[in-house]
């Protein structure tokens, strides 16, 4: 099971995550986020780490720039999905809200041949519904899961047996700064398994 740590906003944190073997380093390029970093930061991080750098966009450009992968953290229209299928779809991670709308959206993504999805809570700050996450993982067993994961509840998410887990605010000392001890607790919990 892989681990993505997201909301990385300092180079020190990015290098630390790469050195301890975190599988993906996420950078939130959404200006409204308290852990916002510009797309230029993605380029800087990419030059200093040997792990995939994932840019997270909500309303931003859907074109891949300096990052290895782009996580599209909103529900796309059918036209937007089809516009991405003309590109290398494996470079994109699609957010799927853990909701009835998300389950319908998943059908559109599956029809478009999408490979990477991230199941997250429909609203920031809320925990993801395990019932809906399980239903989505039954269809997409390699999906990632996110939404309020912390060192205290990470095992509940590990037991869903997703392809990967994704943690942002739950490993912070303050928005934009990762607490390295909390990150280590997440990594050890996932590596040690249930």
Ligand X SMILES: O=C(O)c1ccccc1N[C@@H]1O[C@H](COP(=O)(O)O)[C@@H](O)[C@H]1O
Binding of residue 6 to ligand X (CB under 6 A): yes
Residue among 58 and 111 whose Cβ is closer to ligand X: 58
CA distance 155 to 22: 17
DSSP for residue 36 = B
- The contact mask relative to ligand X for 166-185 (x = CB under 6 A, - = no) is xxxxx---------------
Token couple for 128: 């993801």
Element (H, E) at 96: strand 92-97
* Length of the chain counted residue by residue: 194
Task: Give residues with Cβ within 8 angstroms of 104, minimum separation 6.
Answer: none
Chain residue at closest Cβ approach to ligand X: 169
Binding of residue 33 to ligand X (CB under 6 A): yes
Residue 148 C-beta-side C-alpha neighbours within 13 Å: 13
Q: Contact with ligand X (CB under 6 A): which of 23, 30, 108, 179?
A: 30
> Strand 177-178 vs strand 172-174: parallel, antiparallel, or unpaired?
antiparallel
Residue 104 C-beta-side C-alpha neighbours within 13 Å: 7
Q: What is the smallest separation between the CB atom of 104 and ligand X, expressed in angstroms? A: 21
Q: What is the smallest separation between the CB atom of 134 and ligand X, expressed in angstroms? A: 18
Say what angle helices 11-19 and 39-48 make with each other, to 10 degrees.
40
Residue among 65 and 111 whose Cβ is closer to ligand X: 65
Token couple for 120: 């997250």
Beta strand residue intervals within 11-68, DSSP E? 24-28, 53-57
Q: What is the smallest separation between the CB atom of 96 and ligand X, expressed in angstroms? A: 12
- The contact mask relative to ligand X for 53-92 (x = CB under 6 A, - = no) is ---x-x------------x-x-------------------
Binding of residue 99 to ligand X (CB under 6 A): no
- The contact mask relative to ligand X for 126-165 (x = CB under 6 A, - = no) is --------------------xxxx----------------
Binding of residue 29 to ligand X (CB under 6 A): no
Chain residues that interact with ligand X, rule: CB under 6 A: 6-7, 26, 28, 30, 33, 35, 56, 58, 71, 73, 120, 124, 146-149, 166-170
């Amino acid at each position: 099971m892989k681990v993505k740590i997201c909301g990385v906003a300092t180079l020190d944190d990015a290098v630390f995550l790469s050195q301890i073997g975190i599988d993906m380093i996420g950078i939130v390029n959404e200006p409204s986020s308290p852990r916002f970093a510009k797309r230029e930061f993605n380029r800087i991080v990419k030059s200093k780490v040997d792990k995939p750098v994932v840019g997270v966009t909500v309303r931003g450009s859907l074109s891949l720039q300096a990052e290895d992968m782009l996580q599209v953290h909103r529900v796309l229209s059918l036209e937007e999905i089809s516009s991405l299928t003309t590109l290398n779809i494996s470079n994109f991670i699609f957010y799927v809200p853990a909701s009835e709308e998300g389950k319908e959206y998943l059908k559109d993504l599956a029809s478009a041949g999408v490979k990477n999805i991230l199941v997250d809570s429909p609203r920031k700050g809320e925990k993801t519904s395990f019932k809906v996450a399980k239903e989505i993982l039954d269809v997409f067993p390699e999906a990632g899961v996110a939404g309020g994961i912390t060192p205290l509840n990470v095992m509940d998410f590990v037991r869903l047996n997703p392809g990967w887990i994704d943690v942002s605010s739950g490993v912070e000392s303050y928005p934009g700064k990762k607490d390295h001890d909390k990150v280590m607790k997440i990594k050890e919990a996932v590596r040690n398994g249930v």
